[in-house]
Amino acid sequence: MTAPSATTPTTRPGGARPRAAIAARTLRTDRWWLQPLIIAAILLFFIVYSTIRIFMAKWYYVEDYHYLTPLYSPCISTECVPGSAHFGTPLGDFPFFIPLGIIAFPIVAGFRVTCYYYRKAGYRSLWASPPACAVNEPHKSYSGETRFPLFVMNWHRYFFYLAALILLVNIYDAVLAFRGPDGNFGVGLGTLIILVNIVALAGYTASCHACRHVMGGRLKHFSKNPVRYRLWTFVSKLNVRHGTFAMTSLFTVILTDFYVMALSAGWFDDLRFIN
């Protein structure tokens, strides 16, 4: 028995050819739906979790150990709990419908949504375009990334610039997490979790395609720019693991936020190694 064949695609105006129209629902016999289902569950969990957390407006800072969750950094409103506003409070009180993490969250969310890896994961798992090779998709038309909201995908490099600044803020928060209750040097389990999260976020940001372009894009002669060539080579090596950094940093952000929330809420105490 032969598999159903795909119908011949028609030619669009301008000579562009659409995706092949598969007559059957799928030509696959394996569990092709498993991977997009898992990715969709992970992405939806992160979306729901982070949305709930940024609107909770509590349990985001541990004063004794200077732990600040990345979901609320930087906290620059007068509503921020004492000690959590590492860069002052230039903004006043927010209305109830604006979260304290309004500065960073739209930036990091935009950076991830427009990221090449998440675009692939999101299109296949959430948008079903297409969910897998040789699987028919539910969309009857395709306009690319030229209309709202998908044209926002073209802003990725600008989100990268802003996300790089947020990463520097997170690094500063991590440095402050090396202080104990008395203000001297201290290390706890929370310190290490925050540090691991910074490494994952730095790897994700530095391995970005936009970062690779910044380092070596538009150069005609690498020999005349040896420093940028070395940076481009380093980022290119990281770029191979961009998807790994993308998913790893997603989980480290959740872990860091949950741990800080648990300490702030008094569910358990921080495991201290030094001071």
- Greater pLDDT, 218 or 161: 161
Residue among 249, 272, 265, 107 nearest 177 (CA): 272
User: What is the predicted pLDDT for the residue at 21?
Assistant: 64
Domain that holds residue 214: 30-135+154-274
Q: Name the pTM for this structure.
A: 0.84
> How much is the average pLDDT of 9-17?
49
Residue 8 within a domain: no
Spatial separation of the C-alpha atoms in residues 184 and 134, rounded to whole Å = 60
Residue among 1, 235, 253, 211 nearest 108 (CA): 253
- Tens of pLDDT, residue by residue over 90-140, are 988 888 889 988 889 999 999 999 998 888 888 888 887 878 777 777 777
Q: Give the position of tokens 């290119």.
A: 236
The one-letter code for the residue type at 54 is: I
Yes or no: say if 235 and 227 are a contact pair by the CB < 8 Å rule: no
Residue 22 within a domain: no
Task: Locate all alpha helices (DSSP H) within the chain, ordered by sequence.
Answer: 34-56, 105-113, 116-125, 156-176, 189-206, 209-216, 226-239, 242-265
Residue 1 has pLDDT above 60, yes or no: no
How far is the CA of 171 from the CAs of 7, 166, 191, 196, 261, in angstroms? 54, 9, 12, 11, 19
Neighbours of 196 (CB within 10 A): 16
**Local structure of 224: helix, strand or coil:** helix
Residue 71 within a domain: yes
- Tens of pLDDT, residue by residue over 28-85, are 778 888 888 999 999 999 999 999 999 999 999 999 999 999 999 999 999 999 999 9
Backbone angles phi, psi at 35, to 5 degrees: -65, -50
User: What is the predicted pLDDT for the residue at 29?
Assistant: 78
Yes or no: say if 89 and 77 are a contact pair by the CB < 8 Å rule: yes
Residue 104 within a domain: yes
How many domains would you assign to the chain?
1
Residue 177 within a domain: yes
Contacts of 268 (CB under 8 A, 6+ apart): 262
Cα dihedral sign for 156, 215, 163, 238?
Answer: positive
Residue 209 within a domain: yes
Longest dimension (CA), the chain: 76
Residue 55 within a domain: yes
User: What is the predicted pLDDT for the residue at 244?
Assistant: 95
Residue 67 within a domain: yes
Beta bridge partners of 77: 91
